[in-house]
Amino acid sequence: MTREIKKVGKYDYVYESSMSLDSDHRKRHKVSRYVGKVVNGDVDNPKRVRDIVAIRGIYEIGHLELAWSVMDDITPALREE
């Protein structure tokens, strides 16, 4: 893999690139992988901005917010009895 520096806007980013063969079309194409952002001209140790985190699940809490808002009105009345 070779490292490349790409300028996007006013910042420089480091990518590792390699060639891959597409067997269907019998052509090569370039595959790039993000390594990090160049900070203070240090190309050898780029800063990794963010790692990709797998999403484990999506939770809906709207119905719980509704239940809590209703309970805020009822709770004082229940405590009196």
Q: What is the pLDDT of residues 38-66, one digit of tens each?
A: 877 776 677 775 666 677 777 777 888 88
How many CB atoms neighbour CB 15 within 10 A? 18
For residue 3, which of 42, 51, 40, 49 has the smallest C-alpha distance? 42
Tell me the average pLDDT across 1-17. 87
Identify the domain containing residue 1 by its residue range. 1-40
41 dihedral zone (left: phi>0; alpha: psi -120 to 50; beta): left
**pLDDT value for 51:** 63
Residue that the structure tokens 């992988």 belong to: 33
Within a domain: 10: yes
Does 36 fall in a domain? yes
Residue 8 lies in a domain: yes
